[in-house]
Amino acid sequence: MIGTGNGYFDPVTRTYLPISQETWADYSTWDSFTTWEGTYADGTQLSYTSRIFDAGAINKTNCLLQVAAGTPFTTTITYGNSISGGAIVSPSTETVTPGQGAVPALTGRYFQFTILQEMDSGNDDLPFIAGLSVELQSASNVDLISYGGANNLDTSTLPGSDGVRTFSQTGVGSYVDFFVQILTTGLTGTKMPVCYVDMSGANPVLNIYDADSYGKRTVMDCYVNVNFSYMPAIEADSFGNITEV
């Protein structure tokens, strides 16, 4: 493993371990001393920060993580669009806790992972890291999943208010492309709907206006076909690993 932290790497067991509470001064004899077998108190923490991973381009990215660890762990993902001097420039962070469920896709190119474990009275297992695996599923380098089953959809059946409707689909982690085709079904008179899609949130919001109305700002509902591509949903399990749902 290439990274930094507050522990040490044991070449015999090939694990990353916390430093024990003893110091050299606690040992008065060395006659039978062959290994560093210290003791650990409740609250002992082990922190490890990985190297920086490159997704190849700035895009929405699913960060999948598997850690062979001694105790459940919290992960802080640091990410951004560029690096300088071996560090991510103006980074953002996302903290993932064991069992939290859904984990969002993050937009950036460079990603770094800090793993934190803590020993407590309810769990006397020793924190350690025996291996770490990272997979970056960027929208620019993985096969996106396509969906085109929302045909002849009456937007008034979607959550929201007249002409401002939120679309959601089970199993979608992050929408990448989202296309709306307006149909003539149900249109009367001179109504001429246009649709603008707001992709800034977790789910697309359809903003539908009647282009033939005075001021061109009258909202309305209509019938549409919807096609989109997406990245699968990911989640953190009870131990802290991040996997596809």
**Each residue's pLDDT tens digit, 81-130:** 999 999 999 999 999 999 999 999 999 999 999 999 988 755 568 899 99
Number of domains in the chain: 2
Domain of residue 205 covers 145-232
Instruction: Say yes or no: 208 and 91 in one domain.
Output: no
pTM of the model: 0.80
171 and 133 within one domain:
no
**Domain annotation covers residue 94:** yes
Torsion region of 65: left, alpha or beta (phi above 0 gives left; psi -120 to 50 gives alpha): beta
**25 shares a domain with 134:** yes
Compute the radius of gyration of the chain from its Cα atoms.
Answer: 26
Among 24-28, 35-39, 42-46, 114-118, the range scoring the smallest mean pLDDT is 35-39
Task: Report residue 6 as tokens.
Answer: 């507050």
* CA 14 vs CA 17, 149, 182, 204, 235: distances in Å: 9, 50, 60, 47, 28
CA distance 134 to 79: 14
| Residue of 213 and 204 predicted with greater confidence | 204
Tell whether 223 and 121 lie within a shared domain. Answer: no
- Helix, strand, coil % in the chain, rounded to nearest 5: 5, 55, 40
Q: Out of 104, 139, 174, pick the residue that ends a domain.
A: 139
% of the chain beyond a pLDDT of 90: 60
Among residues 95, 117, 139, which one ends one of the domains?
Answer: 139
Question: Do 60 and 161 fall into the same domain?
Answer: no
Q: Looking at the structure, do residues 194 and 73 belong to the same domain, yes or no?
A: no
Per-residue pLDDT, 240 = 96
Tell me, yes or no, whether 158 and 210 share the same domain: yes
